[in-house]
Structure 1
Amino acid sequence: MPHDLGTPVPAPLGRMADLLGATVRPAARRATPVTEVVITEPGDRSTATPGTLILAVGARSTDLVGRPPGAAVAVREDPALLEAAEKAGTTLLVVPPGIRWDEVAAVVQGELARAAAAADDRSHGDLYSLAQTVAALAGGPVSIEDTAHRVLAHAGSVDDADDLRRRSVLGRSCPEPYLALLREEGVYRRVRESEDVVEVGSRPDLGARRRLVVGIQAGTRPLGTIWLQEGAGPLAAHADEILRGAARLAAGRLVDHYYLGDPTGRVRSHEDLAHGLLTGRFNARALAVHLGVPPTAGASVVAVDLRDDPDGDPAARDARLAEAAGMVAVHAAAYRRNALVAQACGQIYAMLPETGTAGAEDALLRWAGDLVAVLRGHTRTPAQAVVAGTAARLDDIPEVKLRGHHGLEILARTPDRPVASHRGLTSSLMVREALDTLARHGGVRHEGLAALVAHDTAHGTEMARSLLLYLDAFGDVGVVAKELNVHPNTLRYRVRKAVSVAGLDLDDPEHRLAAMIGLRLLTGPDRAVRNAPYFPH
């Protein structure tokens, strides 16, 4: 919903400081909201309100006294001013030398305009989020520009920014000398003609490091470009793929930018479409038309779980999930042009149209493995993924999504295993379904096994777990003893004792099968022998 046009949209002071290479004093006030900027001269006592950033040109110590709480003052580095501000409790933006006051004002106004645009038009906010995702994945500062070379969004380390980038951000557009170079080298022509990523070499004379650029297109219509600048270190190995995926995602968001104010030119967000398709509440035929794929097309589904700490800070957990969803979206778009990504049940699902071809599962497993490696590296979580399978029609995606959800439940029991396919987990899923059926419907229970588990609970022993591991390992005493960290003779004694307490005959195959099922049923994942393999791996 658009914000109230009479209400200024704030932007954080710390964000402006980062763009200018300035500092906020005290640092704890980096989140101070700024809603307007005014320029004053020495002795000027112009009225300021909370949210005002005062550019105090030639400020004196007395100019810092009596400012309202919530207002901030931008000054040059001066020990006397810093001391006066500390005594007066004034928030300062300390601007480094070499940046003119009109440039400071331009940065502040640009950030305020960006904040207002994000509030009025979600596509702008989405572009900033996309730029941040690309910067994190590709390892360098990122800018997204429209066809008039205006900077719509940017992200990345201020320390890595070269002089050209700083001037582009400050002026909200690319400097003309560099544009002339790009025209001369045919860079814009090349990015308009294909999805290829074009490399632009460093130009120290223009203050420009090496860059990669990709065009953003809707069919044959150019919508803009995404720029990735090389920083202090090398760019990511798959930077080209990351840029291609980001350009495909940006196309839909820039359509909103160009058709802003024309409701007939706008479409429901990809997030809404993806979630509707995943849950079955959106008309799949209509979505197929929107995506440009045949209504009878199939789609593969990959389910991802960050395995985040359920007891951690909910806000931090939600932030990591949103960050991860953005990364999955970029990788999915690079892999399949019409990919959709949605969140559900605290998990992330990638839907990849028309991938049900021979060898598709192996390719998806490799892709999912690369994706999990990226997620683990950036989110610092033990992420896992399941290739759920291919829906024969888009209407079948909710059913395949459920397979992915169940597969992730099974995969959680082997945290060191990053990726699996639903097909590869079939045996475990069958066992779980059989156990769930037995648990729901009751019937015959093995009293001897119940007595064995009760004995362990009463005496603090591990006979039930030892017997289950022994049966799962086909009686390999050496392997199980090593896993339990006991002597083989100790394990043999435990097994004999367990068999005696439970009244089992391990020479009888039905006794062995009953023990394997019964112990799993009695000692489920949250019971006393939690480390027993409740489901086979």
Structure 2
Amino acid sequence: MESSDPSALALLTDRFADARAVSLVEPTAPQSGLEPGDVVLGLGVELDQVPALLTAAAGAAAAGVLLRRPARAATAAGIERQATELGVELGWLPPGVAWNDLHRHLVQRLTPPALAPDDELGDLAQTIATLTGGLVTIEDTSARVLAYSRSSDEVDELRRLSILGRSGPPEYLALLREWGIYDRLAASEEVVEIAEHPESGVRRRLAVGIFAGTRQLGTIWVQQGADDFGPHAAQALLGAARITAVQLASQRARSDGRPGDTGLAALLGGGTAPSRLGRVARRPCVVAVFELAGTGPEHGPAADRLRRDELTAIVTVHAAAYRRNALVEQLDGRVYALLPAVDSVSSAIAMLGRAVTAAGLHLDATARGAVGGLADSLAQATRSRREADLALEAADDAAVVSFEATRPRLVAALLEKAFADRPELRDRRFDDLVRTDPDGARTVLAYLDTGSDVARVAAALHVHPTTVRYRLRKVADTVGLDLDDADTRLSAHVHLRCGLRAAASGA
């Protein structure tokens, strides 16, 4: 068995550091399927096929060709001359280096995925790899690789050969057919688990079909790496399949001259619902909002935009797993998700929690999320968006909140603001109470906060219940406070909240 020479590998891979991707030619037709910028591995290419391969590489503007050096020096020299004449960068597989080791080092060095670096499918492949903790490959129904995530030392033979040669080991693929894996993937959105197969050098996998309606567009495969899959890997994979279906359909639409647009910005601005939502537009929905803490000028606009893009990708996957027709878009520096056909806000809260947790694990920032109230239909989505924004602003340190949970706090804040904006309404008796008897003021406020529960007030203030009652009587006599009157209780509550908060802040 061949053994790797690290120094020889490093020198060789450095020569092709600017290549776009790694490509493995078909031994039966080595001159076909070459792409611009590829570094071509001539694994299995016969000597009489080399001239055609070099000519094809020159015509395709490949980054270079790597071959095993022939035993005869004259033959090697002839190949080198032809490569020079054609302008093809030629490299020889170093002695003692295996093709698999060479491929692994090239993949680690080059910038994946095989598609352009800014390609949406490539970005999605990397996002789902991050969320699942595995190595992702997106294929069409002909098993042609459309995109894949960055590889590592844990890549197995099935993944390596699929990326290189557009197909895996024939024996293993036959087993997948025998086990009915392809049939299951073609039948529904079921996430299928495939056990490790040591005989073929294949690790455990998760897979899911990509569907547009009942039509299968492709498959996503996730190979397990050094660690087990994440706890929500299957759900993230389902969301990824639905997003991939939208992207594939959008690419096809763009190729037909039809632009793709989620329509969420227009909808939340008071416009009409996208027509593709169909009947779900008349069902209840909610709007969720997400933002990252720690963004701002000190980080730079480029860094902030990159992190928001990554947050958008994470939210998109989780939202699609939760609702097929979910829409996600960046607006005003935040990420919004429209969740249609929702029966209760509580079910959406769990999705928000998973998305925020995933963002916190994978981004260099703390994420927060909030969800608005349930809207009767998409026509009222703007109201749910306003509620989500208000809830996020009132969330304090909570990672995930709902508008319903923050409504009392929001109402209290509104009353305090209205009170502060109308100074003529201030009752100076309460200002004097806060200044001259802060213990009495805090006792009354706690009494109002707890619904007149003397025992809870005593426990909170660490005093005897008798002391609480004494302070309440003293304040009632000093201020002339009738705590049995509802309007007086409300006025006292607002006055004391504002007064004690201002005193604590030194205002």
- Tell me if both proteins adopt one fold, taking TM over 0.5 as the criterion: yes
Query: Which residue pairs with 1:444 in the alignment?
Result: 425
| Structure 2 residue 413 is the aligned partner of structure 1 residue 432 | yes
Question: 1:277 maps to which residue?
Answer: 267
Q: SS of the residue aligned with 2:255?
A: coil
The correspondence of residues 66-465 of structure 1 with structure 2, limited to 5 A, is 98-99=99-100, 114-115=115-116, 118=118, 125-174=119-168, 176-259=170-253, 261-263=255-257, 266-270=258-262, 273-280=263-270, 282-284=271-273, 287=274, 289-308=275-294, 310=296, 313-314=299-300, 315-356=302-343, 360-379=344-363, 381-412=365-396, 415=397, 417-449=398-430
Contact 1:136 1:156 in 2 (8 A): no
Offset of residue 225 of structure 1? 0.6
Q: TM-score when scaled to structure 2?
A: 0.69
- Give the residue type in structure 2 aligned to 1:115: A
SS of residue matched to 2:349? helix
Alpha carbons of structure 1 residues 370 and 294: separation in structure 2 relative to 1, 3 Å:
closer
Whole-Å Cα distance in 2 between the matches of residues 516 and 392 of structure 1?
A: 35
For 1:129 and 1:296, the matched residues in 2 are separated by 33
Question: 1:55, 1:101 within 8 Å by CA — same for their partners in 2?
Answer: no
1:451–1:140 Cα change, 3 Å: same
**Post-superposition offset of 1:133:** 1.9
Kindly state the Cα deviation for residue 339 of structure 1 after the two structures are TM-superposed.
Answer: 1.1
Counterparts of 1:23 and 1:405 in 2: how far apart (Å)?
52
- Residue pair 1:464, 1:519 contacting (<8 A) in 2 also: yes
Contact 1:140 1:156 in 2 (8 A): no
Report the Cα offset of residue 462 of structure 1: 10
Secondary structure at 1:355's aligned position in 2? Answer: coil
Shift of 1:224: 0.7
Q: Is the 8 A contact 2:254 2:260 kept in 1?
A: no
Gaps spanning 5+ residues in structure 2: where? 1-7, 21-35, 41-61, 69-88
Verify the 8 A CA contact 1:151 1:174 in the aligned structure 2: no
Q: CA deviation at 1:215?
A: 0.7
Distance 1:478 1:344, change over 3 A: farther
Aligned twin of 1:5? none
Q: Which of 209-218 and 508-517 deviates more? A: 508-517
Counterpart of 1:114 in 2: which secondary structure?
coil
Report Cα offsets for 1:309-343 as digits up to 9, x if no partner: 55752444433332222222212211211111223
In the TM superposition, residue 267 of structure 1 has moved relative to its aligned partner by 4.2
Q: Is contact 2:283–2:342 with CA below 8 Å preserved after alignment?
A: no
Matched, 1:529 2:498: no
**Could you say what the CA RMSD is over the residues aligned between the two structures, in angstroms?**
4.8
How much does 1:24 deviate? 9.7
Q: Deviations over 1:94-139 (max 9, x none)?
A: x9764587998899999596227x4xxxxxx221222122111111
**Aligned equivalents of 1:327 and 1:38: distance in 2?**
32
Sort the Cα spacing of 1:517 and 1:145 in 2 relative to 1 into closer, same or farther, 3 A.
same
Change in Cα spacing, 1:446 to 1:202, as seen in structure 2 (3 Å) is: same
Are residues 130 and 523 of structure 1, via their aligned partners in 2, closer, same or farther at CA, if it must alter by over 3 Å?
farther
Shift of 1:397: 0.4
Q: Which residue of 2 aligns with 1:516?
A: 493
Alpha carbons 2:253, 2:260 under 8 Å: kept: no
Q: Give the letter for the 1:202 counterpart.
A: E
Q: Give me the whole-angstrom Cα distance separating, in 2, the residues matched to 1:75 and 1:477.
A: 82
Distance change (3 Å), C-alpha of 1:370 and 1:515: same
Structure 1 residue 191: deviation in Å? 1.3
For 1:470 and 1:73, the matched residues in 2 are separated by 84
Contact 1:300 1:388 in 2 (8 A): yes
Shift of residue 399 of structure 1? Answer: 1.1
Q: Which has the larger radius of gyration?
A: 2
CA separation in 2, counterparts of 1:407 and 1:316? 26
Contact between 1:110 and 1:172, CA under 8 Å: does it hold in 2?
A: no
Structure 1 residues 36 and 361, CA gap change in structure 2 (3 angstroms): closer
> For 1:341, what is the secondary structure of its paired residue?
strand
The secondary structure found in structure 2 opposite 1:228 is strand
Distance 1:178 1:304, change over 3 A: same
Cα deviations by residue, 1:259-282 (Å, 9 ceiling, x for unpaired): 55311xx44233xx22222232x4
Distance 1:261 1:361, change over 3 A: closer
